[in-house]
Amino acid sequence: MSKGKIIIISGPSGVGKKTIIDKFINDERFNLKYSVSATTRKPRDGEINGRDYYFLSEEEFNENIKNNNFLEWAEFAGNKYGTLISEVKKSLENNNIILEIEVQGATAIMQSNIIDDLLTFFIVPPSIEELEKRLRKRNTETNEKINLRIKKASEEMKLSNKYSYVIVNDDVDVAVNEFKKILEKELLNE
Ligand code: 5GP
C-alpha cells in the first residue's frame, strides 16, 4: 500500500506527544505529515476542523464505520476517534505519515498485516502524578474527564512494551533529542 513509513505515536493524554512531533513536522529531512483523525469529541478552543481533527457527529462517525472508511477506530474517554483510510492513502505516496493514536487503535494496526513498514513510539510521563499536574495545568477538560484520562493512562502504560521505542518525556529537550536520533536512524539510515 505504501512508499512512506507509517509512524505510530501513542502515550497518555497530556504526555506531550504533540509538542514532540511538532518540532519535526516541518523538518524537510524527515518528510513527515500528520494524518488528521476523525472524532466525535467537541473542538477545544483554537482547534480547527480539517487541521486538528475532522469533527464529526456520532451519526457521521457511525456512517464511516459502516462504510469501512476507517483503518482503525477506538473509543477513548467517552468519544470515538478514527484514522480514515483516505487520509493515510493520500499522504503515503510522498510522505512518512504520523498517526498520533491511542493504544487500542495502535494495537489493531500492529496486529493486522495491512501495513508492513511501521515505526512505533510510546511516550511516557516521568510519573502519573506529573501527568495529572500537566493535564490540570492544560485545563482543556472538565475535572471528571481529567480523572477518566488519568485512569486510562495507567491502563495504556501497561501496553508500552508493544512499541518499538519508549521515550520518557521528563525534560522535553531530552525527549525531543531522543526522538530525533531515532528518526535519523530509522528514516535516514544515519
Ligand atoms: P484528544 O481528545 O486528547 O485529542 O485525544 C485523546 C486520545 O485519542 C489521544 O490518546 C489520541 O492520541 C487519540 N487519538 C486521536 N486520534 C485517534 C485516532 O484516529 N485513532 C485512535 N485510535 N486514537 C486517536
Average pLDDT, the chain: 94
In contact, 97 and 7? CB cutoff 8 Å: yes
In the predicted structure, residue 117 carries a pLDDT above the cut 60: yes
Q: Is 53 in the pocket of ligand 1 (CB under 6 A)?
A: no
Cell reading at 182:
531515532
Task: Return d(Cα 5, Cα 118) in angstroms, integer.
Answer: 6
pTM for the whole structure = 0.94
Closest CA to 80 of 107, 94, 99, 60: 60
The dihedral sign for the CA sequence 87, 92, 94, 98: positive
Question: DSSP class of residue 95?
Answer: S
Q: Is 156 in the pocket of ligand 1 (CB under 6 A)?
A: no
How many other CB atoms are there within 10 angstroms of residue 29's CB atom?
12
In the predicted structure, residue 3 carries a pLDDT above the cut 80: no
Q: Is 98 in the pocket of ligand 1 (CB under 6 A)?
A: no
In the predicted structure, residue 160 carries a pLDDT above the cut 90: yes
Ligand 1 atom with minimal separation from the 79 CA: 2
- Which residue has the least CA distance to atom 7 on ligand 1? 102
Cell reading at 31:
518528510
Ligand 1 centroid, distance to 12 Cα (angstroms): 10
Q: Is 37 in the pocket of ligand 1 (CB under 6 A)?
A: yes
Residues 48-103 pLDDT 10s: 999 999 999 999 999 999 999 999 999 999 999 999 999 998 888 889 999 999 99
Confidence at residue 71, expressed as pLDDT on a 0 to 100 scale = 95
Ligand 1 atom with minimal separation from the 108 CA: 22
Q: Is 100 in the pocket of ligand 1 (CB under 6 A)?
A: yes
How many other CB atoms are there within 10 angstroms of residue 153's CB atom?
20
In the predicted structure, residue 1 carries a pLDDT above the cut 80: no
Least confident window among 105-119, 120-134, 169-183: 105-119
Label residue 165 by pLDDT band (50, 70, 90): very high
Q: Is 87 in the pocket of ligand 1 (CB under 6 A)?
A: no
Confidence at residue 2, expressed as pLDDT on a 0 to 100 scale = 47
In contact, 148 and 105? CB cutoff 8 Å: no
